[in-house]
A and B are shown apart, each in its own frame.
Chain A
Amino acid sequence: MINLENISFTYKNKLALDNVNVHINEGEAIAIIGPNGSGKSTFLKLLNAIIFPSEGKYTFNELEINEKHLKDNKNLKLFHKRLGFVFQNSDTQLFCSTVFEEIAFGLIQMELPIEEVNERVNDCLMLLNIEKLKEEHPYNLSGGEKKRVAIASVLAMNPDVITLDEPMNGIDPKGKSFLKDLLAVLNKSGKTIICATHDFEYIDGIFKRAIVFSEEHKIIRDNTYENIIKDKEFLRQYNII
């Protein structure tokens, strides 16, 4: 489903991703791990076509994703509907005046009928346990609440693939365990989950596979989650724990 071939990304004369090769199938649950600055966020941004590689080819569902392809608004909308992104910083991800509007935004862009919009928004509000925040301004919410609204607004569009950038940052333990259960349920119902994280405590049981980035912005290991987590010496050597 997702195929990255020889992808490199350079920004301001600094190499942010070095010759990345990855193949991801539908329904997988993958953890992206690595020390700070290794390129995890850049990798996710590239997957979501917010940035485009300086070299290499990115294929999604057999379509090559590049600037030219996404210049067409129809392609752009379809791509972003299929692939959802929960940003690390919820503040910049929420830009509407109420929570309801925030979750409805993507659906309105998709031009769904108003009844379906209302139905989906209410379902997402219930799913993420945020019904009472419906008419609130996003900037009045706590960190955990903002994160839930962000996830709800992505889920409402019913993406096939959900990418998350450090979703556990700044969330309290109850919130983390809620998120963990949610991700497990979503994966079970068929969604592909790709998650950058370095919080290993709360994510047991979700991920089957892990991709490890090094400080040199390369992928140094791509294996089952169990094997990598157990290999403490490897993790220590590459500054992950």
Chain B
Amino acid sequence: MIPKWLSEKDNYIPKEEKNLYIEKSIFSFIKTISIIRQNKSQDKLLYLINPNLKVISTILNIALISISRSFAYLLIMDIYVFGNLMLMQKKSRKRIFIRSLIFPIISLIALIPSMFYGNVYNSLLLFQKIIITIIMMNLLAHNTKWSEISKSLKLFQIPDIFIWIMDITIKYIVLLGEYSIDLLYALRLRSVGKTSSKYDSITGIIGNLFIKSYKMSEEMSQAMECRGFTGEYTTKVNFNLKKIDYGYIIVNLLLIVTFIYLKYQGIF
């Protein structure tokens, strides 16, 4: 019953071939999913502040930073952001730090030609702004539950249906991401030697992923219908403020006042 070649040992010597792209894809998927899965119910200060406040203040501060022309203001924001970092969980702190340095440094390098021609002040300003902005965004993403962040978007007049779809998207990123990782592992296991059809493999995975996404969405809408869903989705905004929240509001108000003062004083 068994063909002859199965009962014999092969004499197979594979050619040099790197399948780095599979590794990289797997790596980036795993990293993304682990970020999503991170536990954010700490008892530390920052994690307890009302998420709506954090979202509003982050976006507001980023807007102000973008408009600002004052190094003094940016320095104060540096201190504020640094203080926030110190209040974070150690592992997150390291992660945010690394993510927040790489991109700004590359931008700085890209700005060198501009500085060469005399545009130093603005370039350094840009560099400084980029650092603060990235750290602020990463802080928010690391110390607030994502479901809370998407709910707070309601305050920005974003319709409920959008928010709901965002939540589902995050959930599916995890599910489909893991599914993709399985596909990628399977691909890696079978990439023994030269794979001249690299594009076929990757596009096959992407195509497969799409079909699976489609089928999953059908199942999910059936599940929702079975629990009485008829198309309306409402979220309620949670605005119970605790003592900590008032402190946070005060700090942010001070920052805004500083911004206005420095802008209209023209201090360099």
Contacts and interface: CB of A to CB of B under 8 A. Distances in A.
Asked if chains A and B are in direct contact (CB within 8 A), the reply is yes
B230 A50 contact: no
Interface in A34-56: 45, 48, 50
The interface residues of chain A, by DSSP majority, are classed as helix
Task: For chain B, give the interface size range.
Answer: 20 to 34
Given A92-B216, A95-B168, A139-B174, A80 B227 contact: yes
Contact of B226 (A85, A110, A140): A85
Contacts of B224: 95
Interface string B137-153: 00000000101000000
A109 B228 contact: yes
Contact of B230 (A73, A91, A96, A153): A73
Most buried by A among B167, B216, B220, B223: B223
B144 to A, nearest CB: 13
Nearest to A135: B41
Contacts of B225: 50, 76, 80
B222 interface: yes
Given A92-B220, A95-B168, A140-B37, A81 B228 contact: yes
Given A93-B223, A95-B224, A140-B37, A77 B230 contact: yes
B250 interface: no
Interface in B4-35: none
Nearest to A138: B171
Interface string A44-83: 0100101000000000000000000000010011001100
A225 interface: no
A84 interface: yes
A45 B222 CA distance: 9
A105 interface: yes
Contacts of A80: 225-228
Task: For chain A, give the interface size range.
Answer: 20 to 34
A158 interface: no
A87 B228 contact: no
Nearest to A97: B147
Most buried by B among A92, A93, A157: A92
Interface in B204-227: 216, 219-220, 222-227
A89 interface: yes
A98 interface: yes
Given A87-B219, A140-B37, A105 B174 contact: no
Contacts of A167: none
Most buried by A among B37, B175, B226: B226
B246 interface: no
Nearest to B173: A139
Contacts of A97: 145, 147, 167, 171
B121 interface: no
Contacts of B229: 105, 109
Interface of B: 37, 41, 145, 147, 167-168, 171, 174-175, 216, 219-220, 222-230
Interface of A: 45, 48, 50, 73, 76-77, 80-81, 84-85, 87, 89, 91-93, 95-98, 105-106, 109-110, 135, 137-140, 153-154, 157
Given A77-B228, A80-B226, A137-B37, 15 more contacts: A50-B226, A73-B230, A76-B228, A84-B226, A85-B226, A87-B219, A92-B223, A93-B219, A95-B171, A95-B223, A96-B167, A97-B167, A106-B227, A138-B171, A139-B175
